[in-house]
Amino acid sequence: MNTDLINEQMMQVDAGYWAAQWPIKLQAGPFTFKGFEYQLEPMAFTGRRICYLKGRQSFGATIMEVLKDLHGMIMGKYKMGVAHIFPNMDEVGDFSKSIFKPLIAANKSSIGKYVKNVAGGTDTTTLKRVRDAMLFLRGARLGQKVGDSNENTSSKTSAFSCDKCVFDEVDFMDPEAIVKYIESMNMSPHKHEVYLGNPSHEDFGIDLIFQRSDQRYWFRKCSCSGLISTPVATTVRGSWTCAEKSFPGCVKIRSDGTGYIGCDKCGKEVPVWAGEGTGEWAPGYRDKSDYMYGYRASQLMAPLNDPAETLESYVNPPFGNLADVYRLKLGRAYSDKNEKLRKGDVLMCCGNDGLSIKHSGPCAMGVDVGKVKHVVIGTKLPKDKYEILRAIKIPEGRDGWNQIADLARMYNVKSTVIDIRPYEDEARAYQAKHGGGMTNPETFLCEYSDTQITDSAFNINTGVVKVHRTGIFDQTHRIISMGELILPRQCPEIEEFARQCCNCARFEEKDKRKNTVVHRYRPTGDRQEHFRNAMNYFVLACSGHRVGTVSRYKTKQYAEVDNEYERV
């Protein structure tokens, strides 16, 4: 048997084997799986989609994917090339200088000799030729509008084709950009998608992508006695512990103050790897494996990390910032209660009354406009409280605005605020027909602003109310979280309202032009936040003296609710 031939064949098909055999020189030393055995499986992965939900400096996901990119192009697998995507061009430059160029310089025989100048000049920061393929380093920022539409685009997302797209730090990318880059693989036989990043908010970015994967966690095996189930449900002697699932209880402290991961059953130290069969990735949802492999990693896996330090940061967060401990150390998405509503908190506002089918008013109404319109109708109560009577979806169709007008009559609506976009002409037509008078208009169109400093400004000349977007989201968050809202009894309509109210979170962002920190609400989950916007418009419609306060004991009519139970 020709071992040299076998070795050559293995190097052609397995990126991990190729990197270890040379070995590829990295900034921290030669590439090796020793101490990083958990990298073996993802390095050997050849499926269509993979994602990494990780803590900072915990897994080596970026360098793993860079090596897989280079290996695929050098060996002729990725003939059309690879696109490595970053949130913006600043990160592209940093990556090129800090990772790619040093990697080429340190590995001239294995990598450097295959990296050629682009025809007509030298390699640029954003474009590299690797053997016969191209490595595209691009930013994900979309800065151009398509005509008069709300669609964004960028020339960087078009005019090239590739076999693989790596989306690095997904949480800082525009989802529209991700979709556009994926389209660049339409002519590829591979169409490999890679997503990686530190998580931010729950149900957002890499956390949301990980939820769609088979959700793999690293389990460590202890030799303690007893027949128990392994992570893959095979009964053997031994016990399995996943530090990411068992934290903080799995962290044990030695007499010298250092920490270790202890077995969930006996407490004995279980290292990340202690030989064949002592550690493995176990998927939580095998039925999703065909779609995407997903890996969750934390600093508890890193060989040079002391679990005691992670535990101390969790108990006493530096500068009181628990979010960064969850996100950067534990690799877990986290939303503070002041940044994102929970569905349970919204449903805590439910009372015992059913849905009202009509009301004598005066009521206020907020309308979020889309193909499907979302309408919130309610009353203003004494002491700056509110009661929502209905949260209704108006199906797509030409009769939608007439249905909204009918609702306004049924609930005696005296003040309405409607989303000005994306169908301004239709909204203007409704306004003109239903309360758009110049002296005392009952209907205003709302325009969000990211720059307005003052509270809402109603302009009776234009029929438009402008409001600071973050400010009104903050206000409705506060109204719900402080129990200043009364909802009807829990039912499917109200559960959907509650779900959509939670589909956004408050992000801290840096305005690079002004060098200031700003806060903005961005959609999370399935991005269906229409009822939250309608709630914002409803609160605006209640503001000032636009609608009078109503006693909760004013006569209402409720919908009949059928059930299977016989009255006795």
| Dihedral pair phi/psi, residue 274, rounded to 5° | -135, 25
Q: Which domains does the chain have, with CATH numbers?
A: 3-211 (3.40.50.300), 216-316 (no CATH), 343-558 (3.30.420.240)
What pTM does this model have?
Answer: 0.86
Per run of 10 residues, the mean pLDDT along the chain (length 568 residues) is: 72 92 92 94 96 92 95 95 92 89 93 79 74 92 52 60 96 92 95 96 96 97 68 59 96 96 94 93 97 97 94 96 96 95 96 93 95 96 94 91 94 94 90 71 90 83 93 96 96 97 92 79 94 97 86 56 38
C-alpha span between 217 and 250 (Å, rounded): 15
pLDDT of residue 2: 63
pLDDT of residue 148: 42
Q: Which of 187, 196, 193, 175 is nearest to 61 (CA)?
A: 196
Contact 318, 461 (CB under 8 A): no
Q: Which of 441, 469, 434 is nearest to 455 (CA)?
A: 469
Q: At what angle do helices 469-481 and 530-542 cross, to 10 degrees?
A: 90
pLDDT of residue 231: 57
Host H or E run for residue 315: helix 307-315
